[in-house]
Amino acid sequence: MTSFSNPPTLSDVARKAGVGTTTVSRVINGGQRVSPETLSRVQAVIEELGFRPNQAARILKGNRAKTISLVIPSIADPFFAQCAEAVQEVARAQDSLLIVTVTNNDPRTEIENLETLVQHRTDGLLVVPANHQSLTLAGLLQRMGIPVICLDRPLENSPFASVVTKNFQAARDATKHLIDHGYKRILCLGGESNLYTIHERIRGYSRAMKDAKMVARIDMSAKDYKSTEQALEAHMGGAQPPDAILTLKNGTTIETFEVLQKFRVSVPKQVALLGYDDFELASSLRPSITVVQQPIFDLGRIAAEMLFAAMAEPAPKTGKTAEQVKLDTRLIVRSSCGCNPRGA
């Protein structure tokens, strides 16, 4: 019951059990090559003293740190929170701890986090690159000499495998869906066009528009509620207001819905709305919102599994080109796109 200001050590156990430190070490590492009696006696002492092997000492001896680290833009963002949950689950199953650091998509913060993580000798890295073509990042990561898997966004010019969703196809298909509805002036709305995912989605939208010989309208100024409001005010009040809107990420979708409602713009009658990322109330809003749903949990789970697989391999890199896993998305058709008018 005493609080151990000086946690018992392996040799404390050895002394009290009347054996050598080697024996205790064997006991806590599976108990092989130890006689049954000794084993139970040592175990009893371990129990009694509340001994827990000091992980720092093990790391120093060259063992795994038993930690993996997740480097993400934000924890509060539902998207990354779900990824983190999945990753934590896998880590736990592998008897490892999860360290989470956040970058806010700032390359400098990202570097700093990584530098700290090196010092802690974490076993593997799951990173969502702030800049998907940063050579600095690619170089730093390689010098770290530990397995790295990129999540949600690949890292160009690097040998690291990545797990992403099919952004291009999803956006193209979503746009096609709107085109098939007969909409003529489809606006693509979002923010942070420098992000890989957004970039890909814009490409998908553009391709679909081009294939339909329609003119692309892209506005990447919607970064938060206020800017979304300004953007929509301009578009809806213009000479040629859009008759459909494709939003490129979760926040934008919700903000767009809110602004349209505030402006008393009828959806989908006046403008249709198709969003990116499903959300809990999407089906309960009036109208319910049609969205592209990403397999978020799988994204995190698969990346984590790949990371542990990579950590288990003897050879760090076999010079292969970076493997890229692309997960399918789903178009959840509801009412805001003009389908299923019952709910509109």
Partner DNA sequence: CTGTTAGCGCATTCAT
Partner DNA sequence: ATGAATGCGCTAACAG
* Interface ranges with DNA (CB under 7 A): 6-7, 9-11, 18-23, 25-26, 28-29, 33-35, 37-39, 51-54, 57-58, 60-63
In whole angstroms, give the CA distance from residue 236 to residue 241. 5
* Residue 69 or 162 having the CB closest to its own copies: 69
Largest Cα span, the chain: 90
* Residue 20 or 316 having the CB closest to DNA: 20
Picked from DNA, its own copies, none, the partner binding residue 28 (CB below 5 to 8 A depending on kind) is DNA
In this structure, the chain runs to a length of: 344
> How do beta strands 217-219 and 244-247 pair?
unpaired
Picked from DNA, its own copies, none, the partner binding residue 139 (CB below 5 to 8 A depending on kind) is its own copies
In whole angstroms, give the CA distance from residue 186 to residue 222. 16
Give the contacts of 216 (CB within 8 A, at least 6 positions apart).
188, 205, 206, 209, 210
Picked from its own copies, DNA, none, the partner binding residue 34 (CB below 5 to 8 A depending on kind) is DNA
Give the contacts of 238 (CB within 8 A, at least 6 positions apart).
none
Closest contact distance (angstroms) between CB of 239 and its own copies is: 28
* Residue 4 or 323 having the CB closest to its own copies: 4
Picked from DNA, its own copies, none, the partner binding residue 254 (CB below 5 to 8 A depending on kind) is its own copies
Number of H helices, E strands in the chain: 12, 12
Closest contact distance (angstroms) between CB of 155 and its own copies is: 15
Closest contact distance (angstroms) between CB of 188 and its own copies is: 22
Picked from its own copies, DNA, none, the partner binding residue 179 (CB below 5 to 8 A depending on kind) is none
* Residue 123 or 219 having the CB closest to DNA: 123
Closest contact distance (angstroms) between CB of 137 and DNA is: 23
Report yes or no: 126 and 307 within 8 Å, Cβ to Cβ.
Answer: yes
* Residue 10 or 125 having the CB closest to DNA: 10
Closest contact distance (angstroms) between CB of 203 and its own copies is: 28
Footprint on this chain of its own copies (rule: CB under 8 A) = 1-5, 7, 50, 52-57, 59-60, 65-67, 74-76, 78, 81-82, 84-85, 88-89, 92, 95, 97-102, 113, 115-121, 139, 142-145, 254, 257-258, 261, 280-281, 283-286, 316
In whole angstroms, give the CA distance from residue 298 to residue 296. 5
**DSSP H or E segment with residue 241:** none
Reference 128, options 308, 299, 311, 8; nearest CA is: 299
Closest contact distance (angstroms) between CB of 119 and its own copies is: 5
Report yes or no: 71 and 103 within 8 Å, Cβ to Cβ.
Answer: yes
Picked from DNA, its own copies, none, the partner binding residue 11 (CB below 5 to 8 A depending on kind) is DNA
- From edge to edge, which strands make up the β-sheet containing 330-332? 217-219, 186-189, 244-247, 272-276, 290-293, 330-332
Picked from DNA, its own copies, none, the partner binding residue 210 (CB below 5 to 8 A depending on kind) is none
- Angle formed at CA 110 by CA 170 and CA 55, multiple of 5 degrees: 110
Closest contact distance (angstroms) between CB of 42 and its own copies is: 18
Closest contact distance (angstroms) between CB of 222 and DNA is: 47
Closest contact distance (angstroms) between CB of 248 and its own copies is: 17
* Residue 32 or 119 having the CB closest to its own copies: 119
Cα 209 from chain centre: 29
Picked from DNA, its own copies, none, the partner binding residue 9 (CB below 5 to 8 A depending on kind) is DNA
Report yes or no: 111 and 129 within 8 Å, Cβ to Cβ.
Answer: no
Picked from its own copies, DNA, none, the partner binding residue 221 (CB below 5 to 8 A depending on kind) is none
Reference 235, options 291, 273, 287, 285; nearest CA is: 273
- Angle formed at CA 288 by CA 287 and CA 293, multiple of 5 degrees: 145
